[in-house]
Each structure stands twice: as structure tokens, then as C-alpha cells.
Amino acid sequence: MSKATKYVSHPADEQGNVAWSAEENKIWKDLVERQLEIIKDRACDEFMHGLDLLDLPLDRVPQLAEVNAVLKEATGWQVEQVPSLINFDAFFNLLANKKFPVATFIRSREDFDYLQEPDIFHEIFGHCPLLTNPAFAHFTHTYGKLGLAANKQDRAFLARLYWFTVEFGLLNTADGLRIYGGGILSSPGETIYALESHEPERYTMDPLEALRTPYRIDIMQPVYFTLNGFEQLFELAEMDIMAMVETAKKLGLHAPKFPPKDKIAS
């Protein structure tokens, strides 16, 4: 969250609205139309219900006030405009106050298929539908409060739990395996890969194991954790997560199931 980025959030006017360009609105339209087709029968019902509630515009980037009106009614959450990248203190502080950070920039055409930075498409399309869900909203709020009080080392462990739930979580359903993680649902390639590839390993969610499992942000994930029902997020939020962090620290991390990043030549 502290690395450099070429993207800069657009400022909002006095009414909180952002003046998006015609090209940016077209990029939003193309991203949403493509992803809506890909997530059919792949996204979980809870996500699709939230998407229906949000009723996001297809032809333009939504204004944050439009999203906030729905979230406030559903779970009391709000989205809040932030610069392109924020530090962990700011991130956890927002979540602890039921505010989800959204950077007001959208990827360029050259980054259309993949962007490491969380743009407005990732945040609004990928995450906000499930912020209408009480279990997901409660878990995210709890995570924010824990992270705000945690030290740097503990935050690194907590980040793994967030990664394997909010960002890259899978859900077992009566209709088969479905996706709820926003990092998957905003990525066309990973939406298909997460469910249909034979390469990744998929485990039933064990929070202690998730806390000990390394990940990389710039590759298709080699490991996913699956919930057996959305009520598990409520149960997880009520567990003593920080006690599990202490156990994870004592046990240590699992060996990563991915190669190290190539070293940059000096």
C-alpha cells in the first residue's frame, strides 16, 4: 500500500462528484460488461444479490454517493475517497469505522486486463456488492478494528487472512464452488482460473492455516481457501483471531508455493 504508482485519484467537487472523462467512462463500461458475462454461474449468490442492490451504471463510472446510499441502508457501511495508495494505519482506521477506501482513478487501456493497484473498478465492482451482506460487512469491520490495534508484525499475519477471504475467497454452495473474493471477481483471468484450473490447491478455510500461508499479489494464486457457508464469516469474526496470530507466529509460515520474485538487476 505504500509503493509508488503512476495513477492519481481524481479530486471530487463540493458535491463529492468526480468528473470522469468520456474515455474513462468507456473503460468502465467495457470492464463491467466483460466481467458481468464472465462471473455468470461463477460468483456466489450473495455477491450477485449485492450487485443487484447496487444497480451500478453500465455506461459510466458510478459516483461514490450513489454507492453510499445503498450501503448505508443495507449495512451502515460507506465508501470513502482516498488517494491512489494509503498506508496501513489509514486503511485499518477506515475499516474500523465502517468506511471502505476507494481510490478515484480507473485503469488505462494498457492495464485493462491486469492492474496491481486497486482502482475504482476493483473496489466498487469487486468489493462493494458484498458490503451489502451482514456477515461480510461484520467480518470486514472486525478485521479493521483488529488491524488498527495490531503492531506491524501482527498486521502482516492479519493481511494473509484478509487475502484469503475478502480478496481471494471461495465458497462451497449447493450448486458447486463459487467465488466471493473481490480480487478474483474483478479479474477475468482469475475468475476462470480459480474455479476451473487444476493447478491451484483449494482447502477448507482454517484461519490458522490462512494466517500461515504466504501469497504474492502479482500471480494467479496457487492456494485458495473455501468457506462452507457465509455464516462462517460471522463465526470467524467472533473467534479470538489475535490468539491465532500468536500461534501462527510461533509455528511460522508455510513454505511458499510460488517462486520468488526475480531480483531486479542493479
Write out the catalytic residue numbers: 122, 127, 167, 186
The H-assigned helical ranges of the chain are 22-38, 45-54, 64-74, 88-96, 120, 134-149, 152-162, 182-185, 188-196, 207-211, 231-238, 241-251
The answer to whether 215 touches 73, Cβ cutoff 8 Å, is no
Torsion of CA 43, 45, 51, 52, to 10 degrees: 140
Q: Is 196 helix (H, G, I), strand (E, B) or coil?
A: helix
Cell (9 digits) for 64: 461514490
